[in-house]
Amino acid sequence: MDLEKIVDKYNQVFEETVSQIISELKKDCKTYAELQKKLLQFERDLHWRRETREKMEPLLHGLRIYVEKEKNDLLITNRS
């Protein structure tokens, strides 16, 4: 297996993992504010685990980016 294939596999697994975590966090959320709170709590929980703190930072960054992108892709609606 060459390096490019290994990196492609990593990216695929990373994206699937981010998507699955976001789907799980979205359960019972009605707004993105609720999702943000759950994501923040998830981050805090991981940061308390000393053995995973540094390893999880790329994952947490990916989760934040995923949520922001999803929010930015929403259409603007008038609330009048």
Mean per-residue pLDDT of the chain: 90
Q: Which residues of 16-55 are buried (b: 16+ CB within 10 A; e: fewer)?
A: eebeebbeebbeeeeeeeebbebbeebbeeeeeeeeeeee
Indicate the pLDDT class of residue 1, thresholds 50, 70 and 90: low
Whether this prediction's pTM lies above 0.75 is answered by yes
Q: What is the pLDDT of residue 80?
A: 62
Average pLDDT over residues 16-24: 96
C-alpha distances in Å from residue 19, one per residue of 30, 42, 47: 18, 15, 20
For residue 62, give both structure tokens.
Answer: 């990916």
The domain ranges of the chain are 28-68
Alpha-carbon distance of 21 to 19, in angstroms, equals: 6
Helix (H) or strand (E) holding 67: helix 53-72
Residue 74 has pLDDT above 90, yes or no: no
pLDDT in tens, 28-60: 999 999 999 999 999 998 877 777 778 888 999
